[in-house]
Amino acid sequence: MSKQIQNPNNKKKYDLVERTAKFGEDIIEFVQSLPDSPVNRPLISQFIRSSTSISANYCEADCAESRKDFQHKIGICKKESKETMYWLRMIAKANPLRKTDCRKFWQEAHEFCLIFSTIISNSKK
């Protein structure tokens, strides 16, 4: 299964392994800048799990043993992307001054969701 996809808007290739890993790294840096509070602690914990899981599951999908295994792991990537979007909403609510950062990360997680939906759809053909 290919690590790269074609972006029809600008014909550039994106390495999804690198893009999803970079997203996880950026999330780690972001949460380290959030204040430690009783509200933030559980939100951050869940958020870190879902956001870094996107890349880990994509790496697993890239090494899938079968088409069914690939589709399942890409489905997990999509699910974790959606969950990340949810936690970003909660973090933005708990940290209104960081709403702009959350919106940027939410957009990237949303794009992952769309990409993984397309991959799932195309892998069924």
| DSSP output for 30-42 | HHHTSPP-TTHHH
**pLDDT category of residue 120 using cuts at 50, 70 and 90:** very high
CATH for 56? 1.20.1440.60
Q: Which residue has the higher pLDDT, 9 or 48?
A: 48
Domain count, the chain: 1
Query: Is 8 part of a structural domain of the chain?
Result: no
**Stretch 59-66: mean pLDDT:** 93
> Hunting for tokens 């001054």 — which residue is that?
97
Domain containing residue 20:
13-123
**pLDDT category of residue 87 using cuts at 50, 70 and 90:** very high
Query: Is 42 part of a structural domain of the chain?
Result: yes
**Stretch 119-125: mean pLDDT:** 88
In 3D space, the residue among 61, 91, 65, 88 whose CA is nearest the CA of residue 76 turns out to be 61
**Stretch 37-45: mean pLDDT:** 98
Residue 9: the pLDDT is 52
Query: Is 7 part of a structural domain of the chain?
Result: no
Count other Cβ atoms within 10 Å, centred on residue 98: 17
Query: Is 67 part of a structural domain of the chain?
Result: yes
Query: Is 2 part of a structural domain of the chain?
Result: no
Query: Is 117 part of a structural domain of the chain?
Result: yes
**Stretch 14-20: mean pLDDT:** 91
Query: Is 49 part of a structural domain of the chain?
Result: yes
Query: Is 50 part of a structural domain of the chain?
Result: yes
Distances in Å between the Cα of 51 and the Cα atoms of 10, 29, 106 are: 26, 12, 10
The answer on pLDDT for 12 being more than 50 is no
